[in-house]
């Protein structure tokens, strides 16, 4: 990292590529963004992530749980209630979404 | 944005969703990351973005040029040389990649 804090030539590119490989992807980022705001039930997530199919949402949630980025809680009611929430490991992704917010906000009128 | 600078409930979610829609794809982010390091020729980009197909790379570059995030320069040599570079509009995405770098670096051993 050069001294401006911005990534420079001596940049550890591999950690960025690894992170992009893990969380890059429109649906992954939209799901993480929703869960950073609040824990959600499946149907709530499907409504909030515009255009996502049931199949993709289920696959993404399964992968994010396996990666330790999302937690899945089953409440044994009848029928059982399933809630998804961001893990502490993923909560620090907040900075990425804050940077996305800043950029989006600054370039809205482009 | 709450005072910690991190996105809070009063978050302008729409600017994040719009930005994710524009740059959130895995291939898009990997291409932008490479171009943030330096301008690249097509073959160089294809080598650096591991696993990307010619079709996807061409489509992504076409879209990024149309969005004003990438500039395409044709040098009229024989054969013509085509170079891709990040635009000033997109250079400020540096902060997103710096945040990805920080997160990836902090969570390497997970």
pLDDT digits (tens, 9 = 90+) for A12-71: 688 889 899 999 999 999 999 999 999 999 999 999 999 999 999 999 999 999 999 999
pLDDT tens, position by position, A69-101: 999 999 898 988 999 999 999 999 999 999 999
CATH fit for domain B13-106, picks 1.10.260.40, 1.20.1250.20, 1.10.10.10, 3.40.50.620:
1.10.10.10
Contact A98 B6 (CB under 8 A): yes
Q: A79: distance to nearest CA of chain B, Å?
A: 30
Beta strands in A1-110 (DSSP E): 40-41, 70-75, 81-86
pLDDT tens across B50-97, in order?
999 999 999 999 999 999 999 999 989 898 899 999 999 999 999 999
- In this prediction, residue A53 carries a pLDDT of 96
Interchain proximity B68–A110, CB inside 8 Å: yes
A70 forms bridges with which residues in the sheet?
A86
Using the predicted structure, report yes or no on whether residue B3 has a pLDDT greater than 70. no
Q: Is B59 on the interface with A (CB under 8 A)?
A: no
Q: Which of B25, B96, B104 sits opposite A18 (nearest CB)?
A: B104
Q: What is the pLDDT of residue A10?
A: 43
Task: Write down the pLDDT at residue A1.
Answer: 41
Q: Is the pLDDT of residue A106 over 90?
A: no
Chain B closest-CA separation from residue A30 CA (Å) = 7
Chain B touched by A33 (CB under 8 Å): yes
Residue B59 pLDDT: 97
Is B96 within 8 Å of A110 when comparing Cβ atoms? no
> Which chain B residues have a beta carbon less than 8 Å from that of A24?
24-26, 29-30
**Cross-chain Cβ contact B107/A94 below 8 Å:** no
**CATH number of the domain located at residue range(s) A25-106 in this protein:** 1.10.10.10
What is the token pair recorded at A35?
């869960």
> A109 pLDDT exceeds 70?
no
**Core vs surface per residue A20-53: b (16+ CB within 10 A) or e:** bebbbbbbbbbbbbbbbbeebebeebbebbeebe
Q: What is the pLDDT of residue B108?
A: 58
Q: Is the pLDDT of residue B49 over 80?
A: yes
What are residue A82's DSSP bridge partners? A74
CA dihedral A52, A53, A58, A59 (to 10 degrees): -80
């Amino acid at each position: 990292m050069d001294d401006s804090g911005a990534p420079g030539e001596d940049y550890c590119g591999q950690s960025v590529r690894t992170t992009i490989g893990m969380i890059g992807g429109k649906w992954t980022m939209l799901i993480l963004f929703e869960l950073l705001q609040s824990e959600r039930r499946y149907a709530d997530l499907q409504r909030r992530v515009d255009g996502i199919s049931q199949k993709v949402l289920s696959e993404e949630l399964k992968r994010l749980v396996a990666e330790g980025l999302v937690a899945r809680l089953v409440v044994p009611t009848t029928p059982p209630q399933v809630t998804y929430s961001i893990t502490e490991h993923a909560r620090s992704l907040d900075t990425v979404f804050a940077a996305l917010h800043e950029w989006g906000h600054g370039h809205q009128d482009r």
